[in-house]
Amino acid sequence: MAVLLALLSSAMWGTSDFLGGNLSRRKSPYVVVGWSEVAGLSFVLVACFVGNRWDAWPIIGWTGVIAGVTGYIGLVTFYTALSRGTMGVVAPITSLGVIVPVAVGLGQGDQPTVLQEIGIVVALIGIVLASGPEIRGGTGLLPVVLALTAALSFGIAVTYIAKGSQVDAFATLGIMRVVALGISGALLVATIVRYRLRVDPDAPSVRSIVLLDRRAVITVIAIGFFDVGANVMFGVSSTLGLLSIVAVAGSLYPVATVILAGTVLKERLATIEKVGVALALFGVGLIALG
């Protein structure tokens, strides 16, 4: 059950990432993340009201704050990388962040079976191979740097989501999104001040930058829904299984992003990327069997 929930979370994360990266090609990644956090927080607050889950918020404390800061940095850098590079390549690089929770889990005493250990290695090799063309410089260095930054940020965020979920997953996600909205609000104020101080008749208005059209609104609501759903599923899976195991299963979100990018945007993958995706899936299969 733990691996299944983690796989479902990866599918939802991958869908959210595709939608966010695609929208970031039309709107600023900061704006996309900000509005998607509003949507995500709305879903979390509804869940907390329905389930009366407020008591856990003070207990989560700094765990949620750290997850919120690193998660926000990860989303902004990831969406920026997706908007400037090839989705089917940037996403696998970002999934290297799984190394962080795997290392933490093993350091805390996780003891996977031999088959699961082989599965972890195979899956990680698959993720690296799926990143081949970008490492060769196919779309430039900047998307690689941004994707690696996102990988580290996501790795830390996921680790703290798992930690907070031991108490309450919804409280952890609630604090995360409050923190992310605080950062988004501060950046919005800074943007408004900058534009008002700059005299440039050709510069776009703040309203045109910040506000979304109807199609974009629907997209950010979907992003928030899938992201919250993925976080909840991963958080619950981390309470049912070993962190080092569920983290690998949850890190397969690039597969969904790659499939959607190929289907919707007609992006084509190199042979090495296809082999990498296949190995990653095979590795998860070994983990599940173990």
* Residue-wise pLDDT tens digits, 222-270: 998 998 888 888 888 888 888 877 887 787 777 777 777 777 777 676 6
pLDDT on residue 221: 92
pLDDT on residue 66: 94
The whole model's pTM is what? 0.78
pLDDT-flagged residues of the chain (< 70):
87-89, 92, 127-128, 130-140, 195-208, 267, 269-270, 284, 287-290
pLDDT on residue 79: 81
Spatial separation of the C-alpha atoms in residues 86 and 143, rounded to whole Å: 9
